[in-house]
C-alpha cells in the first residue's frame, strides 16, 4: 500500500528567458503619467490598427493612492479588455491577476521594468502588443532581454536554532500559527516575546492554553498587547527590546469569491502585513538582531479570485523584505511563502475546498517544525545543504501518491509542477505514456492548450532501464512559455528525485482563452 506521509518541498524562483512576438495595438494610459515608460510612450506613436491596451504605470513602491487606479483599470467599461501593469518594483500584479480571474473577458499582463534604459523601454513597448501568455508576469532587463519566474526545487533549509536564552519577537503571536511557533521556539530554548493586537484574555481558549504552555517552557516569555499599525504605540511598548530574531506572522484576510473589496479593505490588509513589520523594526533595538523570517503566502505568486487583496498584501510583504535586505545586509531576511496550512491560520474553513483544488494542506506540526529549522538555518547563515538561505521561497506540502491520484500541488502558482504516480503492475505502453504525459503537462497550465515540441525521447543511458515492478512518476513544470515533462522510475513524489529521467517531453504553451473578440 502506498504511503500517505505528507512531506514539504521548497522551491525558489529562477529567471527563465522568454521570447515574445508582437502585433499592432493602440494604448491608453490609466492613472499617472509620471513614469519613464509613460513618457516614452507619449513620445512614440501608438499603432493605428489593432485592439487597445490599457496601461497602468507605477514606480518603486505601492502607495495607497495607487490602489484606486489599479481597481479602476480593471473595472472600466464592458467588453474584452487587456490591462498591462508596468512597474519599477511597486508590484501590484497579484491584484490585477486576481481580478482578471473573476472577469471572463479581461486579461492582465505584468511587466517589471527596474532599469528604464532605452533598450528596456523599447522592449517593454513591444510587449504591449504581445498576446497574453499563460505565464503573464514578465521582467524586462536593462539590456532589453525578457524573463519570467520559473521554479527550482531546493532542500528545505534547516538548522539547529542558536537561540538559547535569546529574545525572539513573534508578531501575530496570539493567532493560530504564531502561538504554536512561539511554543516551539521556547522548547528550543528561546525567550519568545509574543506581540498581538488582542489581549491575552480575548484570545480563543486553545490559544490561552498554548500561552500557559509557553510560560511553563520559558518563564521569562512576554505577551505584549499593541496595535502594530500604530507606529508610536509600537515604540512605546517595545522600547528597549533587543531581539535576536523576529518571526513576522501578523496579517489579516478579507475576501471571498464574488466579493468586491474596497480600497480601505485592501489597504488595511497591506498595513497588517507590511505596516506592522515596519513598526516593529522601527521600535526594537537592532544591535543583536540576526534574522527576520516573514510568513508570506503562496497567493502572492498567482491569480487568486476572491483573495486578490490578501495576495497583494503578501506580494508587498515579499518586496518590502527584499528592500530591507538590501538596506541591512548584516541581518538575514527570508520570506517563507507558505501554501495552505491545515487547521490553523486562515485554513480552518477552507480545507475541504483546498483538497478539491488538488492542494495538500501543510500539517500544523510539520509546518511549525519547519519554521523552527528555517529560523535555525537563518541564524546559522547556512542551510542543511551548505548554501545561503534564499531571500524568498515557496514551501508546499505533497503526499505520496497512489494510482489515479495526484500527488498534490499548490494551486495557481506559475511554474509549480504537477505529478502523477503510476503504481507497479499498471499496463502502460508508449502510447499510453504519451497520452498521460500530455494530461499531466496540461494540468500545470489549465488555461492553455499545448503544442508538442519534441517527441518523447529516452534520456537514460542504455542498460539502465527501470527495474520491473517499479512505480513511474510523471512530473511536469512550466518553464517560460513551455512545459517540460519527465518520466522517472522507482520513485514517489516526495523530495524531488535525483534519478535521471527515462523519458522527456516538451510542449509549447498556447493560450486558448480569447482576449479580444
Going residue by residue through the chain, which has 517 residues, state the pLDDT in tens, using 9 for 90 and above: 233 467 788 888 878 787 776 777 888 888 778 899 999 998 876 656 777 888 999 999 898 888 998 988 887 666 678 899 999 999 999 999 888 877 767 888 899 999 999 999 999 998 888 766 545 788 999 999 998 887 778 888 988 888 999 999 999 999 889 999 999 999 999 999 999 999 999 998 989 999 999 999 999 999 999 999 999 999 999 999 999 999 999 998 887 655 788 999 999 999 999 999 999 999 999 999 999 999 999 889 877 777 889 999 999 999 999 999 999 999 999 999 998 887 655 555 455 445 544 567 788 888 999 999 999 999 885 445 556 899 999 998 876 543 333 333 444 444 445 666 676 655 667 788 888 888 878 776 655 678 887 766 665 543 334 445 566 777 777 666 678 888 877 544 433 334 567 888 888 877 544 333 2
Q: Which residues have C-beta within 8 Å of that of residue 330, sequence separation ≥ 6?
A: none
Q: Which three cell numbers stand for residue 388?
A: 545561503
Whether the CB-CB separation of 408 and 377 falls below 8 Å is answered with: no
> Number of C-alpha atoms within 13 angstroms, CB side, residue 442?
12
Q: Is residue 410 part of a domain?
A: no
Q: Is residue 137 part of a domain?
A: yes
Give the separation between CA 289 and CA 246, rounded to whole angstroms: 8
**Nearest CA among 9, 70, 22 for reference residue 339:** 9
Write a three-state SS string for 364-430. Answer: HHHHHHHHHHHHHHHHHCCCCCCCCCCCEEEEEEEECCCCCCECCCCCCCCCCCEEEEECCCCCCCH
Please tell me the predicted confidence (pLDDT) of residue 513.
43
Helix axes 66-75, 263-270, angle to 10 degrees: 130
Please tell me the predicted confidence (pLDDT) of residue 337.
95
Whether the CB-CB separation of 408 and 359 falls below 8 Å is answered with: yes
Please tell me the predicted confidence (pLDDT) of residue 185.
96
Q: Are residues 177 and 28 in the same domain?
A: no
Q: Are residues 260 and 348 in the same domain?
A: yes
Please tell me the predicted confidence (pLDDT) of residue 390.
94
Give the separation between CA 449 and CA 512, rounded to whole angstroms: 6
Q: Are residues 195 and 318 in the same domain?
A: yes
**CATH code at 288?**
3.40.50.720
Q: Are residues 141 and 212 in the same domain?
A: no
Extract the runs of DSSP E, i.e. beta strands, from 18-80.
26-29, 52-58
Terminal-residue alpha carbon distance, the chain: 51
Please tell me the predicted confidence (pLDDT) of residue 316.
96
Q: Is residue 408 part of a domain?
A: no
Q: Which three cell numbers stand for residue 515?
A: 482576449
Residue 342 has a CB neighbour count (10 Å cut-off) of 20
Please tell me the predicted confidence (pLDDT) of residue 410.
43
Give the separation between CA 316 and CA 305, rounded to whole angstroms: 18
What's the total number of domains in the chain?
A: 3
Give the separation between CA 116 and CA 136, rounded to whole angstroms: 20
How distant is the alpha carbon of residue 424 from its chain centre?
A: 35
Q: Are residues 208 and 292 in the same domain?
A: yes
Q: Is residue 155 part of a domain?
A: no
Q: Are residues 207 and 104 in the same domain?
A: no
Q: Is residue 343 part of a domain?
A: yes
Residues 20, 23, 26: CA angle, nearest 5 degrees: 125
Please tell me the predicted confidence (pLDDT) of residue 470.
65
**CATH code at 444?**
3.10.129
Of the three residues 352, 367, 398, the one that is the final residue of a domain is 398
Whether the CB-CB separation of 414 and 302 falls below 8 Å is answered with: yes
Q: Is residue 75 part of a domain?
A: yes
Please tell me the predicted confidence (pLDDT) of residue 426.
59
Q: Which residues have C-beta within 8 Å of that of residue 45, sequence separation ≥ 6?
A: none
Q: Are residues 247 and 306 in the same domain?
A: yes
Q: Are residues 366 and 451 in the same domain?
A: no
How distant is the alpha carbon of residue 439 from its chain centre?
A: 25
Model-wide pTM > 0.85: no
Phi, psi dihedrals of residue 347, rounded to the nearest 5°: -80, -10
How distant is the alpha carbon of residue 404 from its chain centre?
A: 28
Q: Which residues have C-beta within 8 Å of that of residue 446, sequence separation ≥ 6?
A: none
Give the separation between CA 170 and CA 394, rounded to whole angstroms: 21
**Residue 191 sits in which domain range?**
167-398
Q: Is residue 411 part of a domain?
A: no
Q: Are residues 212 and 323 in the same domain?
A: yes
Q: Is residue 83 part of a domain?
A: yes
Strands 222-225 and 191-196: parallel
Write a three-state SS string for 73-124. Answer: HHHCCCCCEEEEEEECCCCCHHHHHHHHHCCCCEEEEEEEECCCCHHHHHHH
Q: Are residues 386 and 427 in the same domain?
A: no
Q: Which residues pair with 478 in a beta bridge?
A: 483
Q: Are residues 74 and 124 in the same domain?
A: yes
Q: Are residues 383 and 435 in the same domain?
A: no
**Nearest CA among 244, 253, 238 for reference residue 196:** 238
Please tell me the predicted confidence (pLDDT) of residue 409.
41
Please tell me the predicted confidence (pLDDT) of residue 464.
37
Amino acid at each position: 500500500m502506498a504511503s500517505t506521509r505528507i512531506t514539504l518541498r521548497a522551491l525558489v524562483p529562477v529567471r527563465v528567458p522568454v521570447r515574445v512576438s508582437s502585433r499592432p495595438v493602440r494604448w491608453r494610459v490609466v492613472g499617472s503619467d509620471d513614469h519613464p515608460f509613460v513618457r516614452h510612450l507619449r513620445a512614440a506613436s501608438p499603432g493605428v490598427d489593432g485592439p487597445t491596451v490599457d496601461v497602468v504605470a507605477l514606480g518603486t513602491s505601492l502607495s495607497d493612492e495607487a490602489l484606486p487606479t489599479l481597481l479602476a483599470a480593471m473595472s472600466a467599461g464592458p467588453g474584452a479588455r487587456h490591462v498591462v501593469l508596468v512597474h519599477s518594483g511597486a508590484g501590484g500584479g497579484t491584484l490585477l491577476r486576481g481580478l482578471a480571474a473573476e472577469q471572463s473577458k479581461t486579461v492582465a499582463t505584468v511587466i517589471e521594468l527596474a532599469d528604464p534604459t532605452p533598450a528596456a523601454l523599447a522592449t517593454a513597448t513591444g510587449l504591449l502588443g504581445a498576446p497574453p501568455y499563460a505565464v503573464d508576469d514578465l521582467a524586462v532587463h536593462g539590456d532589453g532581454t525578457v524573463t519570467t519566474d520559473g521554479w527550482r526545487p531546493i532542500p528545505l533549509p534547516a538548522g539547529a536554532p542558536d537561540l538559547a536564552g535569546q529574545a525572539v519577537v513573534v508578531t501575530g503571536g496570539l493567532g493560530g500559527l504564531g502561538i504554536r511557533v512561539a511554543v516551539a521556539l521556547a522548547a528550543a530554548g528561546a525567550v519568545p516575546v509574543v506581540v498581538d493586537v488582542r489581549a491575552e484574555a480575548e484570545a480563543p481558549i486553545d490559544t490561552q492554553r498554548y500561552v500557559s504552555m509557553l510560560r511553563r517552557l520559558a518563564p521569562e516569555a512576554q505577551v505584549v498587547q499593541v496595535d502594530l499599525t500604530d507606529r508610536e504605540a509600537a515604540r512605546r511598548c517595545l522600547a528597549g527590546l533587543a531581539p535576536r530574531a523576529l518571526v513576522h506572522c501578523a496579517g489579516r484576510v478579507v475576501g471571498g469569491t464574488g466579493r468586491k473589496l474596497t480600497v480601505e479593505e485592501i489597504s488595511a490588509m497591506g498595513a497588517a502585513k507590511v505596516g506592522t513589520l515596519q513598526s516593529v523594526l522601527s521600535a526594537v533595538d537592532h544591535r543583536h538582531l540576526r534574522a527576520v523570517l516573514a510568513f508570506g503566502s503562496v497567493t502572492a505568486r498567482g491569480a487568486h479570485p476572491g483573495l486578490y487583496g490578501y495576495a497583494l498584501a503578501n506580494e508587498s510583504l515579499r518586496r518590502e523584505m527584499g528592500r530591507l535586505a538590501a538596506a541591512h545586509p548584516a541581518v538575514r531576511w527570508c520570506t517563507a511563502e507558505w501554501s495552505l496550512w491545515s487547521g490553523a491560520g486562515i485554513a480552518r474553513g477552507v480545507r475541504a475546498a483546498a483538497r478539491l483544488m488538488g492542494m495538500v494542506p501543510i500539517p500544523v506540526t510539520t509546518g511549525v517544525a519547519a519554521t523552527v529549522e528555517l529560523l535555525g538555518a537563518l541564524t546559522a547563515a547556512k542551510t542543511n545543504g551548505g548554501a545561503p538561505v534564499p531571500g524568498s521561497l515557496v514551501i508546499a506540502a505533497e503526499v505520496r501518491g497512489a494510482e489515479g491520484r495526484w500527488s498534490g500541488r499548490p494551486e495557481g502558482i506559475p511554474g509549480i509542477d504537477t505529478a502523477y504516480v503510476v503504481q507497479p503492475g499498471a499496463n502502460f505502453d508508449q502510447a499510453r505514456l504519451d497520452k498521460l504525459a500530455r494530461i499531466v503537462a496540461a494540468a500545470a497550465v489549465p488555461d492553455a492548450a499545448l503544442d508538442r515540441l519534441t517527441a518523447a525521447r529516452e534520456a537514460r543511458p542504455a542498460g539502465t532501464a527501470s527495474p520491473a515492478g517499479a512505480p513511474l512518476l510523471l512530473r511536469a513544470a512550466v518553464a517560460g512559455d513551455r512545459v517540460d515533462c519527465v518520466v522517472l522510475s522507482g520513485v514517489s513524489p516526495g523530495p524531488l528525485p535525483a534519478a535521471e529521467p527515462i523519458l522527456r517531453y516538451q510542449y509549447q504553451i498556447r493560450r486558448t482563452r480569447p482576449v479580444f473578440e
